[in-house]
Amino acid sequence: MQRAGLYMIGGLALCLLSTQVVVAGWDPASKLSRTEIIAASQKILAMPDIPIKAQEDIFRIRAVELDWDGAGVVYEPEDPSKIPMGPDDKKVGLFMIHGGGGDHRSMDQTARFLASKFGYKIVTMSYPGSLYLLDPSHKWPGTAINPDGSVRTPMYTKETVITRDQYDIVEDKSMRPKYGTLILACAREGTEFYYRKAGWPVAFEEIGKSLMRRHLPPEEYSIYIHGHSTGGPFANMFSQRVRNIRGIIGMDSSPFGYIYRKQARESGNPEGKTYGDVPFNCMQVRTWRDRARYAGPEAFMKEGPEALMRLPMLMEEVLGDENRPNPSPSFKNEGMIHFGAVEPLKEAAKVTAKRLKLNPQQTEDLMKQYIGYSRELSGPGVKPMPPVIFGVAAASADHDPQRYKTITLPMYVAMKPAPKVRLVQFGAGVHGYTAPEPDLPMGVLPAAAKLWYDAIMGGYYMDDSNKAHH
């Protein structure tokens, strides 16, 4: 695409999106009212669709001397010339990471929308073990907890089967105010499940880097990375490990794990324990409690205390039919990175090091690598943190703007060097930002998409001054 058409995604788009001059110093508004969100949504939804194609990529990697099946989907215009060029004369590529308990199908609607409206090339990924590989639909059969008491377990490769004798079921009631009773499947020492749980963080890194290297190569693309919710800490982690990631485009995205640990609302126990602090070998199995964890705060934030007057209705919405099929993975292995839980990370590294027969120095290095997944890197030769935008929905249970202002942003400012970081408060929406609302058929996604487009094309991510702001 020629420079003259840099900001044009189809004829109607030129009329609907404000044309911008690329200048250092472009900044987003700190708040978007509901009226502004509706107007932005209507403009983006009215843009013509660009024909796109989607191709799944399932591949095998070797990490910590184990095989892992990685997976993602590549979305791109049928006509490659429709991929926009950014202000750095590189094609615009997006890498999108789903939230906890899902797989890459969770990002399908969002990726298709963004690719068809803006022409981006987009790559998604599944967390290691989260994709069901025995059916082309990838829908997990049955429910997360089976009638015989066994639970759904990850599929690390197509051939890997985690059998019932490899784990114990544990009920953790120490965080009931926030999570209810946690149902945990704890891998028994020495089993396949145990060693997979210990090696999972490295597999995650290698799968993501492989997808970006093959589909969004640095000679051609600048990458703008997005992780929804639990995917946020992993987007932050990748941002310094992949050289052509230009910045983070956030919307209800958690920050680095050690920051989120302080930012998130309390779990209701004296020790400040989070589900990331359970032993590294324990996997959370999601139940109706996870729906309740969001439904209660969202109802309160939208309706106030009056929401309790319809508690039976809320309970029906949360509980639903527990015996209905649940096609999403509904298990979580990523808590120790999501919450920057140092001790579980160190223990997972030690177990991996022992299996690999590493010497003491190599073991120490591996522990530092694991802990490093939950925080920024610093020092000579390290890529600085790129610019960040955090978008926060109005009724977001775990993303409170005040905590961003008093905890999250100052912690980014304290990084050396400090990245440019901005908070944008949305006057609508919930944590699942595609959830429809009156006058917002796709939730706040279209307005967030316009924010990201304006930031990319307006030069926000081109500012290399690393000037922090909060």
β-bridge partners, 282: 186
Neighbours of 190 (CB within 10 A): 11
Tokens 């640095």, located at residue: 218
Q: Pairing state of beta strands 421-426 and 388-392?
A: parallel
Q: What is the 3-class SS of the chain, one letter each residue? A: CCHHHCCCCCHHHHHHCCCCCCCCCCCCCCEECHHHHHHHHHHHHHCCCCCEEEEEEEEEEEECCEEEEEEEEEEEECCHHHCCECCCCCEEEEEEECCCCCCHHHHHHHHHHHHHHHCCEEEEECCCCCCCCCCCCCCCCCCCECCCCCECCCCCCCCCCCCHHHEEEEEECCCHHHHCCEEEEEECCCCHHHHHHHHHHHHHHHHHHHHHHHHCCCCCEEEEEEECECHHHHHHHHHCCCCCEEEEECCCECCCHHHHHHHCCCCCCCCCCCHHHCCCCEEEECCHHHHHHHHHHHHHHHHHHHHHHHHHHHHHHHHCCCCCCCCCCCEECCHHHHCCCHHHHHHHHHHHHHHCCCCHHHHHHHHHHHHHCCCCCCCCCCCCCCCEEEEECCECCCCCHHHHHHHHHHHHHCCCCCCCEEEEEECCCECCCCCCECCECCCCHHHHHHHHHHHHHCCHHHCCCCCCCC
User: What's the mean pLDDT in 175-179?
Assistant: 88
What does the pLDDT look like over 236-264, one tens digit per residue? Answer: 999 999 999 999 999 999 999 999 999 98
**CA 7 – CA 243 distance, rounded (Å):** 25
User: What's the mean pLDDT in 4-22?
Assistant: 38
What does the pLDDT look like over 382-420, one tens digit per residue? Answer: 999 999 999 999 999 889 999 999 999 999 999 999 999
Average confidence score pLDDT of the chain: 91
280 Ramachandran zone, left/alpha/beta (phi>0; psi -120 to 50): alpha
> Tokens for 399?
């993303």
Percent residues over pLDDT 90 in the chain: 79
Residue 467 pLDDT > 70, yes or no?
A: no
Confidence label for 301 from pLDDT (cuts 50, 70 and 90): confident
- Decide: pTM greater than 0.75: yes
**CA 225 – CA 219 distance, rounded (Å):** 17
**CA 243 – CA 68 distance, rounded (Å):** 24
Domains and CATH numbers, the chain: 3-287+322-462 (3.40.50.1820)
Answer yes or no: are the C-beta atoms of 109 and 145 closer than 8 Å: no
What does the pLDDT look like over 181-233, one tens digit per residue? Answer: 999 999 999 999 999 999 999 999 999 999 999 999 999 999 999 999 999 99
What does the pLDDT look like over 337-357, one tens digit per residue? Answer: 999 999 999 999 999 999 999
357 contact partners, CB below 8 Å, separation of at least 6:
none
Identify the pLDDT of residue 24: 52
Residue 3 pLDDT > 80, yes or no?
A: no
